[in-house]
Amino acid sequence: MKLSVRDRPLPGESFAGYLIRLADYNGRRTVNELLGPIGLDEKASLFASHQQAMEHACQLIAPMINYPVESLVNHFQEQFINSWVFNETRKIRSITLSQPRICIQCCVQAEEPFIHNHWALLPVTHCTQHSSVLIDSCPGCNTQLEWTFDIFRTCNACGLDWHDHTTEISNIPFWQQEFETLLQINKNELLDWLDSFCEKVIKSARPLDQYHDAIYSIPAQTTNILALVKQAYDPDQKQMEWPPEGFVKARRLKLQDTINQHIRQDGFALALGIKPVDVTSLVQSNLITPIYNSPVVRDMLFNIRDADRLIKNVKVIDSCPEGYIEVSAESGLLGLYDAKYGQLLSKAVVDGSVYRFVYSNNLNCIYVEKKRLVSHLESLLEESCAGLIPIQRALRILRISRDELTALIKNGTLRLGRHSSTANRIIGSSLWAFINTSHSSLTRRQNRLKSFGIR
Ligand SMILES: [Zn+2]
Ligand SMILES: [Zn+2]
């Protein structure tokens, strides 16, 4: 099948724009109508952002316009292959938009209007020729522009003729100037610039969220892209929030009521002033329930308000009370019992025998009643002596040398697992019995406790 109008792509024309222009010239309304009959049933937005889709389409179109496939692919390839267009480690991996944007001046004034490929780049918000704002939705009815044949002339929702609209003219904004300058002179610096630009934009889309997922590209349904970029550089203004679809992970959409309060384990730990591993202890003791649980820590979701609630749950005081001791994750006392700070924190909070300093807004340091502290630590040690204990851990708990440990195993005081797979672990009950009966072990612990001012 040959097309009756076989226009070649114009210099700087975008691939999706070219398809829609070709459709228009040949009396088809959409790219689907143009390519459907030759077996391509894809949306134009796909051709705007995916190289393989472009190459595949070129193979089918080239014969229709009597043009070599290779020349056609070469013409558009540059829009897809540049390292700065797509970068795996960026917050927004591809800066190519799949939704159309146009300059109304270009559409109205050009003899042969077409869609420039750089209009699809996120940092480009204005037409360089006319200094006018690129629009992504109709200025009359706010409907998002679509890849349809009439995009060069009218809004396909309300029929507004672009001739009847006065476009907003302003200076090319600084972000676009910076982007275009770096594009010309320094590709390495451009990559850094884009990292920071994308990070700002992603935060701008969801200014009230606690953290921001990395995304492939700006969601196809996103409109008001100029406002999105503007807000990225002016976060103090009254903030607009874009819909979460496409900006946040699918699992978070199911919890939309609390979306602004979602936080990952690292952020949750930071809010509490503790280490991420200590959050795990709080979860295990049911003091905190993740709103989305997963064996992959990175995927777990918490509600930031649960951190506030937990902090408020701990009474405040202006100095360490009589009979109490200050404990933090660094306290040597914890090491003495091979306990984690989060474990002790959980026990102390449940027990209620705990304070925090009045001016501290987190739990990185607490005051625990000395008597309760020892019993908490002992019960933690007992809990950790359940099951089989790796040799290294036993050495840490007992604070003895490997030779001494070997001797204890030889004389039957400490017993090893019976199966070959457990023969390098100590049966916890024998360890616990030794801790509580061995004179040297008890004395060592007593002396350490004394050095901390306890007992
Ligand atoms: Zn223009
Ligand atoms: Zn309209």
Q: At 116, list the tokens.
A: 């420039």
**How far does the centroid of ligand 1 lie from the alpha carbon of residue 335, in Å?**
68
- Counting ligands in written order, which one lies closest to the CA of residue 133? 1
ipTM computed for the complex? 0.98
Q: What is the pLDDT of residues 212-225, one digit of tens each?
A: 999 999 999 999 99
- Counting ligands in written order, which one lies closest to the CA of residue 130? 1
**How far does the centroid of ligand 1 lie from the alpha carbon of residue 104, in Å?**
7
Residues lining ligand 2 (ion), CB within 5 A? Answer: 138, 140-141, 155, 157-158, 160
- Counting ligands in written order, which one lies closest to the CA of residue 119? 1
**How far does the centroid of ligand 2 lie from the alpha carbon of residue 143, in Å?**
6
pLDDT of amino acid 372: 93
Q: Answer whether residue 43 shows pLDDT above 90.
A: no
- Counting ligands in written order, which one lies closest to the CA of residue 102? 1
Q: How far is residue 444's CA from residue 383's CA, in Å, rounded to a whole number?
A: 20
**How far does the centroid of ligand 1 lie from the alpha carbon of residue 233, in Å?**
24
In contact, 212 and 202? CB cutoff 8 Å: yes
- Counting ligands in written order, which one lies closest to the CA of residue 162? 2
Q: How far is residue 358's CA from residue 348's CA, in Å, rounded to a whole number?
A: 17
**How far does the centroid of ligand 1 lie from the alpha carbon of residue 183, in Å?**
20
- Counting ligands in written order, which one lies closest to the CA of residue 118? 1
Q: What is the pLDDT of residues 260-306, one digit of tens each?
A: 999 999 999 999 999 999 999 999 999 999 999 998 888 899 999 99
pLDDT of amino acid 14: 93
**How far does the centroid of ligand 1 lie from the alpha carbon of residue 339, in Å?**
66
Q: At 238, list the tokens.
A: 């009254």
Domain ranges of the chain: 15-81, 259-310, 312-382, 387-451
Q: What is the mean pLDDT of residues 296-325?
A: 94
More confident residue, 95 or 187: 95
Amino acid at 8: R
Q: Which of 104-108, 297-301, 386-390, 423-427 has the highest mean pLDDT?
A: 104-108
**How far does the centroid of ligand 1 lie from the alpha carbon of residue 126, in Å?**
8
- Counting ligands in written order, which one lies closest to the CA of residue 110? 1
* β-pairing verdict for 324-328 and 425-427: unpaired
45 — alpha (psi -120 to 50), left (phi > 0) or beta?
A: alpha
- Counting ligands in written order, which one lies closest to the CA of residue 129? 1
DSSP state string for 381-394? HHHHTSSEEEHHHH
Q: Answer whether residue 450 shows pLDDT above 90.
A: no
pLDDT of amino acid 44: 75
Confidence of residue 441 (pLDDT cuts 50, 70, 90): confident
More confident residue, 445 or 116: 116
**How far does the centroid of ligand 2 lie from the alpha carbon of residue 150, in Å?**
12
- Counting ligands in written order, which one lies closest to the CA of residue 165? 2
